[in-house]
Structures are given as structure tokens and as C-alpha cells.
Amino acid sequence: MANSYIQLNVHITFHVKTGVDPVKMDDLPRLFAYLGGCVREQGAKAIAVGGMPDHMHMLVSIPATITVSEFVKNLKVWSSKWLKMLGDAYCGFAWQDGYGAFSVSHSVISKTISYIANQAEHHKEMTFRQEYLRMLKANEIEYDEKYV
């Protein structure tokens, strides 16, 4: 085979560090746009970016040239620095060290896009912790309760 063809669609989620103020609602649209730019900067495609003041959700198509861990690390480092540039309200801002990354089949991309777009509705019914546990269980990922 002369060429390699890859489609690696990943639903990524990460949370604001415990004890740190969340992102202001007014700043969320700009943060989503900034994160989309961070995705493109890494040669990936942002399919959907959304979330809540305390956590982000992204559906991205990642190239084979970067690991998922390096990709997410860059997203969090770059966006933390960018938020701090918005003003004193974000001087201590940080994301938690961990993250969730779940493979997404092409057949459920539209469902995942809708899920990310409707975060406000989801979180009327459940906390981020409940949501994250549900995602871990649905993907049959073993986890340590003290790190969730």
C-alpha cells in the first residue's frame, strides 16, 4: 500500500482544576473559537467545540503525526495562557491534569456533535462527574474513583 489513510475521531473532555474559578459565561464563545484554532494549529480538524464554564468537550479528527496526550496537553497549556491574557480574573486559571479521550465512530459523529452542542441541557440533569462516569462506563474504561 503506497499511502496511509487515517480517520481518528476523538471526543475529548477536560475539567477546570479544583479550587480554580470556572470560565465566565461571556468568555466561553471566544474560548471555544480559540480552542478550535489550537486544534487547527496542530494539523487536526475541529468538528465540534463546546462545554460549560467548568469543563470542555471537543470532537476532533487527529492526524497520525501527534499523540492524543501531546495534543490535549497543547490544548490545555495554550488555552490556559490565552485565558490568563484576558485579565486578572484568570490569573490563577488551570485545567486539571487528566482528561478523557474516547474514540468516535463515523456513524455517530452527528450524535456526538449534538451532544456537545447541548451541554447546557445535559447539565440541568447531571453534574460533570456523573457525565464523566457515564462516559467511562459506556466505553468500558477502568478507573480509580479517587481520580474521577
Question: 69: phi > 0 → left, psi -120 to 50 → alpha, else beta; which?
Answer: alpha
Structure confidence by residue, pLDDT tens digits, 58-69: 999 999 999 999
Q: What is the mean predicted confidence (pLDDT) over 25-37?
A: 98
Which pLDDT belongs to residue 43? 97
Q: What is the mean predicted confidence (pLDDT) over 114-121?
A: 94
Phi, psi of 125 (to 5 degrees): -105, -25
**Residue 148 banded pLDDT, cuts 50, 70, 90:** confident
Q: What is the mean pLDDT of the chain?
A: 94
The gap from C-alpha 131 to its chain's centroid, in whole angstroms, comes to 13
Query: Cα–Cα distances in Å, from 29 out to 50, 74, 104, 110?
Result: 8, 19, 24, 21
For 8-148, where are the alpha helices, taking DSSP H only?
28-41, 68-85, 109-117, 119-125, 128-138
**Residue 1 banded pLDDT, cuts 50, 70, 90:** low
The secondary structure element, H or E, covering residue 45 is: strand 45-52
**pLDDT above 80 (res 36):** yes
Q: Cell for 101?
A: 479521550
CATH-assigned architecture of domain 8-108+116-140: 2-Layer Sandwich (3.30)
